[in-house]
Each structure stands twice: as C-alpha cells, then as structure tokens.
Amino acid sequence: MPTFDSGAYFLTTLIPVSTTTIVEDGVPTSPVHALRKHLSLMPRGERSPFATNTTNHFARLVVIDDVDYNGREQPNTLLVAASPELPIDQKYKDMLNPVIAQRQDHLSCPFLFFSADFDSKTGSDAERDAYLRDLWTQSEGELRKVFKYCLGFEARVRDAASFAKYVADCQIETTMPFHDYWAHGVPADKLPSVALKTVGLAGLGIFVVAAALVYFWLLPHFLHGFIGALLAIAAGVGVAGLAIYLYILDFGKKPFPAAPDSTLPDVLKALYLRRELTRFAIDNQVDAAGTDPASAQRLYDAFKAFIDANKPGDVEGPTQKPGAIGI
C-alpha cells in the first residue's frame, strides 16, 4: 500500500490547469503563467499555508507543462544487423529509419502537481479527506489563489468538503514514498508478522487438491499411472507455488508500522531541542571542561534549568513552529 506507510499518508495529485485565456489586472494572460506567478509569491516558512496544519510534514506544488522527450526508441541491434535476411514488419522498419519521426507522448494541458505527506493512523480515504478539509479551513484564502487556475475549480469547490473531493478526484497512486524516520531500519519484532507454518500447511493443501484434481478429473484414464502421477505432481507444485507467490506479493503491500516519535509534533519538538541543546553546549563548554567541584555544580544547575525551561517530555511546548527551517 505505497500511498500509506510508517504512519504517514503520501498524497500525490495531478490537477489539470485551465487553458482558457484570463484577464488579471486588466491584462490578458494564460492561467499557467498566472499560476506560476502566484506560486512564486506564496508565503514560505512559518507563514506558509501548510504550516498551519499540525500533521503536515511536507507539501509540494509544481507546474508540469509537458512530459520530457527521452529521445528515439532504440531498436534491437541484433535485429538491425540481421534485418536484410529477416522479414521484419513495416512498423519495425520505420523504427530503424532515423528519417521517419517516431510518436511522442504529450500532455493535453499543463498540470499542477500537488503532493503532501502527513500523519495518518490507517491510511484511509476518510483521513485523507479530513486532512484536506482542515487544510482548506485553515488556509482557504491562500489555496484559492493557487487552485483557482485549475480546471473546474471555481465551479466545483464551495467549501472544505468540496475541496477535499476535488483534490481526491485528481489523486494518483504514490508508488515511491519517502519516509526516513526509521533511521536504522524497522526492528524485526515490529515488522508485519507471517505464520510460516500456516503458509506451509496452506501450500501443502493447495498442492494436494490441485494434484488430485488433475490426476482424477482432468487427465484421461490411460494416463492414470506413473506419467500421470508426474503430471499431477507438476501441476500441484505449479498451482501451490503460484498461490504462495501471490500471497507474498500481497503480504509485501502491508505498510510498516509508524516509527516512534515520528508525528509532526514529535519532530518539531526534536528540532527545537536540537537547537536549544546546541546553544546550551556552546554556552556551558567552559564548565563542562572544568575539573573542580564548582564547575560541576554550575553545569548541573545550568542543565537542570535547561530541562525545566524546555520540557523535553512535553511535545506541546516549548517547541519549534511548523514551517521553520534551520537550527
């Protein structure tokens, strides 16, 4: 389930941009040009419309004009060398001829790529819609300035619920999510479990049923002997192997569990403590290097004051503001 993994939902959308000429500030312009302008003017950092949401780790807005052209499709060099002796169809001959242009893929219109990674417990559509509704409620003004250039937005979006549906209708599957909070990998005891004994018994059962079915029902009577038994065993192994293979593929889609302390409030608290502890280490390095009791006492008192002031166990505060970058 690549859209959801490790306690995070990876939303990816491609929203078509209108191609009808518009007028802004009395000047005719294209929607995609105006969209780029407003994206460049969108507030960053703590003033970002996405910083008001306390579950949003990352958000991206990118204009995609068209797909890149990767060059001509290269033919098989062995077939090229043997082409005078082989009867090759016309389509392949055209591919070999560099003078004949090959078909190129193009987008029918520009698209707004919008992706967001946010905290999620189950990866359900309901959690996705709740995130989008909250985003709209918190930052409707800024979002309207961007999405109003998208096809059908003005006609369809009236409130938070319709905004969530509009974005969800443009969602595509996230095939390569990025999540780096399991810094040292997922511990074995946290991985989705599989009962190997149960899988083995199920595979054996499928093998027996498939082999018996082939031997007693599908094979003709004159093969009910050694050759028939071999054919039945081969069929049973094939069917059981396929079943186990499909089970493994399905099992591999199960998401990893959420990493500890990986929600946005936890991450913001960690970033805040890193900054404050760096400052503390710089300010108290003289006492840390001292060997007399007075230095040790001052360092102890300073660290106690640091703990009391910064409350490491309290993710609510003091903490770093969403959208703040750097230390």
In order, the DSSP letters of 256-323 are: PPPPTT-SHHHHHHHHHHHHHHHHHHHHTHHHHH--SHHHHHHHHHHHHHHHHHH-TT-TTSS-PPTT
Every domain of the chain and the residues it spans: 4-68+106-172, 196-252, 264-310
Q: What is the pLDDT of residue 193?
A: 66
Instruction: Identify the CATH number of the domain defined by range 4-68+106-172.
Output: 3.30.70
* Closest alpha carbon to 77 in 95, 53, 63: 95
* Residue 13 β-bridge partners: 114, 171
Burial label, 113 (beta-carbon count in 10 A; 0-12, 13-18, 19+): middle
262-285: per-residue pLDDT in tens? 899 999 999 999 999 999 999 999
At 156, the amino acid letter reads R
**Backbone torsions φ then ψ of 116, nearest 5 degrees:** -150, 140
Q: In angstroms, rounded to a whole number, what is the distance separating the alpha carbons of residues 166 and 244? A: 40
Q: What is the pLDDT of residue 161?
A: 97
pTM, two decimals, is 0.74
At 149, the amino acid letter reads Y
Q: Extract the residue ranges of the chain whose pLDDT is less than 50.
A: none
* Closest alpha carbon to 319 in 278, 267, 263, 262: 267
Burial label, 246 (beta-carbon count in 10 A; 0-12, 13-18, 19+): exposed
24-63: per-residue pLDDT in tens? 888 899 999 999 999 999 888 888 999 988 899 999 999 9
Cβ-contact 46, 157 below 8 angstroms: no
